[in-house]
Amino acid sequence: MNFAQSERAALCQLLDETGPAAPTLCAGWTTHDLAAHLWIRETDPLGAPGILARPLAGLTERRMAEAKDRWSYPELVERVRRGPAPLSVFAIPGVDEGANTLEYFVHHEDVRRAAEAPIEPRELDAEAEDWMWRRLRLMGRAFFRRAGVGVVLERSDGEAGGDREPETIRVSSGPETVTLVGRPSELMLYAYGRGDRAQVLSVGEPAALIKLGEVELGL
């Protein structure tokens, strides 16, 4: 079982436990809405394009509402748990890990961290953290393209010490620089716009920190 599959299973277990009316970090969405989103994304060729194309977002919302009316919450969660339909692009061998790892990791945390009380990050294994770091190297500039300031990501779970410098990635350039320090998984949540719930240390001039904090991050 790869990380994408284990996150899918863990998220669906959590959805079972929380029920359909629990909050998430996705603005305005309950866990029922999130389950519908996940099903539409993988299975509905009519509704899925609106997830990325804003002019079609209204159609996606209607398809989500129809999915919620068609199946009960437990049935919808079970459909997500079973994975994409055989003819879905997500069912092509090799697509799952690249396309679904971040989707299910971020949405798993969207449910975990929606509670008012602070939730401690999960301890992910080194392989998962390394995967997140490689993906930040690949996609970091896209995540922070609207930053408006220079941004450097600094990995806090490495083996820096002595003459060895911390591992860093510059994802944005600008006259002022903010350094974000944390584990790759926490930096990934920050990059996806969950900075207020991610355990990331922000270092920089106050004006630069404020400017970055006001920007909408993510793809």
Torsion sign, CA atoms 65, 68, 71, 75: positive
pLDDT confidence bin for 180, thresholds 50/70/90? very high
Give the CATH number of domain 128-213: 3.30.1050
Q: Where in the chain is the domain with CATH 3.30.1050?
A: 128-213
- pLDDT for position 159: 59
pLDDT confidence bin for 34, thresholds 50/70/90? very high
pLDDT at 165 over 80: no
pLDDT confidence bin for 88, thresholds 50/70/90? confident
pLDDT digits (tens, 9 = 90+) for 59-79: 889 999 999 999 999 999 999
By percentage, how much of the chain surpasses pLDDT 70? Answer: 96
Q: What is the distance between the alpha carbons of residues 205 and 179, in angstroms, rounded to a whole number?
A: 10
Lowest average pLDDT, out of 28-32, 45-49, 130-134, goes to 45-49
Could you tell me the two tokens for 90? 């997500």
pLDDT at 109 over 70: yes
Which pTM does this prediction carry? 0.91
184, containing H or E segment: helix 184-191
